[in-house]
Structure 1
Amino acid sequence: MTAPVRVLVCDDQALIRTGFATIIDAQPDLEVVGECGDGRAAVDLAARLHPDVVVMDVRMPVLDGIEATRLLAGAGVARPVKVLVVTTFNLDEYVYEALRAGASGFLLKDAPPAQLLEGIRTVAAGAALLAPEVTRRLVGRYAARIRPPEARRDAALTPRELEVLRLIAEGLSNQEIAAALVISQETVKTYVSRILTKLTLRDRVQAVVYAYRTGLVS
């Protein structure tokens, strides 16, 4: 059997923290290995507990979730931890800061429990997740700030891979891409993996940003 995904929950509100932990622990493929109420504690616990995913709030005492995410998953971190930011604040700047800090996903706290659980699984699997509320327009608006201007490096992509990349940038899921191109979801996953490898990108979020920065979509 596959080992369960190890999750660290960080939120300064005990009721929310306990609620998340209860929902997560009820899943056979997920396991809460720790809880904490501030970003500094999250960084310290992650170093000891080695979680697969940290569910991170934004506004917290001692060290906020954005800075904690930067210390856990940012550029230059030797052993980056996947971070799923979950917050009550649907503000453009929070989304931008979370992505720039290295977060692999962003959800709102009023999302259904099933969406939280799927978000954890998605991030743990190495993919990325943006809440439906985080629109394509938002990513386009902040793309220049998330990544500096760079030269196109997608010449190695096949026409089909470029097509998949454009659909990723438009916010389509693997299932939606499969339907649009009349191919299987497994084939889509293969294309996505090739795209990320060829462009040396970490996840789908960076793929979206790359597409905007290089003018593949606008």
Structure 2
Amino acid sequence: MMMNLRFHVLGDSLAAGVGCALVEQSIGYLLAERLRGAGHDVTLRIHAVPGARSADLAPQVREATREGVDLALVVVGANDLTRLVPPPVGAQLLRDAVEALAEAGARVVVVTAPDMGVLTHVPPAFRELVSQASRAYGQAQADAATTAGATVAQVGADVFARFAADERMFSADRFHPSAAGYAVIAQALAPHVLAAAC
């Protein structure tokens, strides 16, 4: 008998799908479809809140664990970077969230902070510096998430290069992905999510 997979998506506007014209174009829905295609009976719940930082994960985690969660995707870090949250602080908050989800029986996949240097409104002279800061923050997140038992799904440099080279990857606000951008990100994350679901 096929068991229901309770798939919860937590985090910020990227996890919520800001920039999509349709909710079905968001990361959570795209990955839920990939899970269904792999034979899982999936119930999807999205707890993500636009603007959320790592400090805002705790209430989302409480919602997810109260409902029951088998697989959790956590996407966070962009707002920590824009608000200059120190990497050790954000990483510890992320670790706390992962540990709480794991204690509730969830397998957890963490997507680390994006490369903010690809954003067009970042002046060219500062893009490499912003990219370095993004990578440093993402590495602190990855170390914390791994220690807490999560699978880390870092979006590769090839994906960020596509965003940097093609403005169609961005929505009208030039900050959030478009439907095409979310599709590229979901494609990169799918192997990690599918592996964690098994």
Q: Normalising by the residue count of structure 1, what TM-score does the alignment of the two structures yield? A: 0.45
The structure whose Rg is larger is 1
Higher relative contact order (CA 8 A, sep 6+): 2
Report the TM-score, using the length of structure 2 for normalisation.
0.49
